[in-house]
């Protein structure tokens, strides 16, 4: 049989792998629109931590550098350059937020790669 110390190491390693798999489980299955909605919801909840799970630091910093406002989701369109552009718009203020969502199941899931605002154009 195996010594108890060896078995404890095996169990701990299995738990660590299981926790990692659980944290990323289903990410590749979520479409770009779901990722965009989660990113917007993280902004609304003022949760940088949640946003950083699905976006890079630069995109999170840029989004959280602007005061949240209620906006309507307009959908995602596939870009010729690859990835998707997902848009939220505020009709009253003629203001929109565009997110570039890149990735796919083959690379572990989708994530927000960049953010831009209509006021930047």
Domain that holds residue 100: 26-120
Residue in 65, 42, 26 with CA at minimum distance from that of residue 112: 42
Does residue 13 form part of some domain?
no
Question: For position 51, which CATH number holds?
Answer: 3.10.450
Does residue 104 form part of some domain?
yes
Q: What is the CA radius of gyration of the chain?
A: 19
Percent with pLDDT over 90 in the chain: 62
Does residue 6 form part of some domain?
no
Considering only residues 63 and 9, tell me which one the structure prediction assigns the higher pLDDT: 63
Does residue 84 form part of some domain?
yes
Residue in 104, 101, 99, 102 with CA at minimum distance from that of residue 115: 99
Please give the pLDDT value at position 107: 84
């Amino acid at each position: 049989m195996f010594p108890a110390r060896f078995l404890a190491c095996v169990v701990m390693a299995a738990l660590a792998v299981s926790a990692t798999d659980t944290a990323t489980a289903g990410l590749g299955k979520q479409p770009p629109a779901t990722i965009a909605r989660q990113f917007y919801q993280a902004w609304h909840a003022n949760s940088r931590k949640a946003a950083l799970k699905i976006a890079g630091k630069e995109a999170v910093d840029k989004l959280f550098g602007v005061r949240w406002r209620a906006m309507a989701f307009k959908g995602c369109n596939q870009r010729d350059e690859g990835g998707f552009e997902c848009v939220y718009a505020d009709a009253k203020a003629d203001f929109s937020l565009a997110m570039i969502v890149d990735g796919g199941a083959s690379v572990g899931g989708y994530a927000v790669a960049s953010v831009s605002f209509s006021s930047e154009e």
